[in-house]
Chain A
């Protein structure tokens, strides 16, 4: 047996550098060595330069498969190319019709939208349930709020391990429960019911009877409060409602947040593989919903304390089902009002970017390709460093004169929320100097603030300065006033082409006109293609067909 002699420890990559160096050096100087087609089956030929050759079909297939389908090709896919001089266009098309392509497109857009809201708190503990272990070992659902437990039982404790009917044989599920003195506390028993997060097949759970109350109204002192609205936790006569629909659990909150991410990505699917125009991603009033989100919007979102996420249903939202089923995860199309604008008003985008400035800044980065950078020097001329108007304050104004009008486009959506607030009264005199939580959330309450009593979003919407006038105009135009110019000017197309180019090429395009390799022409052509066709697959196809993508170097 003849064994091979040990070769020098050299990799294919370093070998290529050696093999390519002489002819490419010559080619670079214009000596007669031509850039010949590279035949991978032939032994290495030292007389030609392969630096700018198209890569071998197998190499291109691997590139395409990893870039478009996020996975390496199988050996069968490679071997199918055995007699091919290049990757057939049908193969490229097939790669763009797969489930993996849809998943890649989702990931590409997640890179832009950062649409994970798993860390968002939809509410605090005062309308949340968690479990405790009863003396007998069973789990029982009880309020997660110490204050609410005290309100129900005098002390911060849980109900007794007995059915409520053992305390009150005539007890009817949902009523205010009688209790028995236990130490300083007065404890009720438990009841069994099917909670909203269970299907009927999943069966019942045990819940403390106080938490399972279903009364529509309760008393907070002498005031009547609605049990299906925020503030209900102040009343011992308010429980979590029928099937516990007015209270969150940790897992139900997680389910809702996961559904929000999926909701955003369904919008992406629609424009990447669903055939809708790509620009409709930021303009469409069509959206997606399921039972989980409808249930949340109808029953749970109104319970959130106003210091938390605000997502109340508004007339500008799609109508809700009369009795949404929380466990129904089937997605259906919904038609939203004209205030909505593609993914920009979806829950995940609004909650991921909790302020209008953040929303506008992310929009500007994604769709305008523009980034704010802090000024290198402080700006101290003709300005007040303590000006409450950030568009006039020294230094700050350099960015905020641009940002604030853009942010105003999003101002119909609540800060730290995803609910529309365009139906709130523009001015509320009672809020001036008020400590009311709703006033503090939405209105300027400071008497010496800018426009006391006015909605905060309208504080600088006037004609006092050109920036204020721009803010006013953006509020009046809403999101269409932001998206339409970006689309019609070609900025949307150019920005998305640059994102895609950067993704596929592994580097941004060279746009410096002084660079001899400037790629402005390619970007212009691709941008025009996207403007003309408004087709995501089409622009992906065009980029992966470029020589720049298919060459070795």
Chain B
């Protein structure tokens, strides 16, 4: 069986993953990123003055500020503590997190625990593993895919069951039925802040546009083909958006 989130969430994230793998941990300056070193038509002498080249006049380079902090991948400990904050509680008030059982049963062992997948993800125990590489390797990406699917499914289901609509987490700024673009955009902007810790740009924002497209694609697949995990097409749309966001580099790298 083909799940809609597999195709769409992965297509959104594939380029992002590549960027993550390329960018995480690098310390290059912005100027280097932009190709100044290779494309520049000026050279700098020992005294710092700029020499004239055949291509154009002399310009004095502005030295870049010193290098800054580099992006870091969240550690297992950070994920363990953050997922319940981001996913909120289930309908009974228990924190949603990645557990050994697929449901929201709070008695299930946390998958980030030492006796589950914590070691596989690199969580140090200071005996065999004394430092956490915190790199986005293939195993990490695979397991985070698993985590996102379970957590987002449970978030969607918890919102569906919630009596208090103000307490919704995944669909806070929309309704369980709405497919109005304005509602979708408002909720996406809310989720952008919740998951990424960043306000989407006012007006056009390519990330919001992409996620909006993802929502409608997943929703339409559910309506047309019944291709859904969540209970309704709208919830399926939000579940798939949630998975895409939780798999995104912007979620894992800070």
Contacts and interface: CB of A to CB of B under 8 A. Distances in A.
Interface of A: 1-15, 17, 20-21, 24-25, 27-31, 40-44, 49, 51-52, 56, 58-59, 61-63, 66, 69-75, 78-79, 100, 107, 110-111, 113-116, 118-119, 352, 504-507, 510, 516-517, 519, 522, 547-549, 551-553
Contacts of B72: 506
B46 to A, nearest CB: 13
Interface stretch (B102-110, B122-130, B142-150): B122-130
Given A13-B250, A73-B197, A548-B67, A1 B30 contact: no
Contacts of B66: 510, 517, 519, 522, 548
Nearest to A551: B68
A44 B201 contact: yes
A505 B199 contact: no
A519 B27 CA distance: 14
A519 B250 CA distance: 28
Contact of A56 (B130, B131, B198): B198
A4 B207 CA distance: 13
A7 B81 contact: no
Given A13-B16, A13-B250, A43-B202, A4 B181 contact: yes
Contact of B78 (A11, A41, A66, A548): A66
B27 A40 contact: no
B67 to A, nearest CB: 5
B84 to A, nearest CB: 9
A553 B82 contact: no
Contacts of A51: 30
A70 B62 contact: no
A83 to B, nearest CB: 12
A100 B60 CA distance: 48
A71 B81 contact: yes
A118 to B, nearest CB: 7
The secondary structure that dominates the B interface is loop
A40 B213 contact: no
Nearest to B69: A505
25 contacts: A3-B181, A4-B213, A9-B14, A10-B210, A11-B19, A20-B34, A40-B198, A52-B64, A56-B198, A56-B199, A70-B75, A75-B172, A75-B193, A100-B81, A107-B77, A116-B126, A118-B127, A352-B126, A505-B68, A507-B27, A507-B69, A510-B67, A516-B63, A522-B66, A551-B65
Contacts of A119: 127
Given A28-B61, A517-B67, A551-B65, A72 B199 contact: no
Given A30-B61, A52-B30, A62-B254, 20 more contacts: A3-B181, A4-B213, A8-B206, A10-B15, A12-B198, A15-B207, A17-B33, A28-B36, A30-B62, A42-B202, A62-B198, A71-B78, A72-B86, A107-B77, A110-B126, A547-B65, A548-B67, A549-B69, A551-B68, A553-B67
A261 to B, nearest CB: 9
Contacts of A41: 199, 201-202
B201 A7 contact: no
Nearest to B37: A28
B179 interface: yes
A116 B197 contact: no
A479 B12 CA distance: 57
Contacts of B223: none
Chain B interface: which size bin? 35 or more
The secondary structure that dominates the A interface is loop
B113 to A, nearest CB: 15
B64 to A, nearest CB: 7
Contacts of B69: 63, 504-507, 548-549, 551
B155 to A, nearest CB: 13
A144 B111 CA distance: 35
Contacts of B1: none
Contact of A506 (B70, B206, B217): B70
Contacts of B212: 4
B78 A43 contact: no
Given A111-B131, A116-B127, A516-B63, A13 B249 contact: yes
B253 to A, nearest CB: 9
Nearest to A55: B198
Given A15-B206, A111-B131, A116-B127, A553 B30 contact: yes
Given A28-B30, A43-B202, A115 B250 contact: no
Contacts of A49: 30
Interface string B18-60: 0110010101011101111000101000000000000000011
A44 B63 CA distance: 25
Given A30-B59, A73-B85, A13 B36 contact: no
A475 B203 CA distance: 71
A77 to B, nearest CB: 9
A503 to B, nearest CB: 9
Contact of B82 (A25, A66, A517): A66
B187 to A, nearest CB: 12
Contacts of B23: 13
Contacts of A510: 66-67
B119 interface: no
B92 interface: no
A115 B20 CA distance: 33
B73 to A, nearest CB: 9
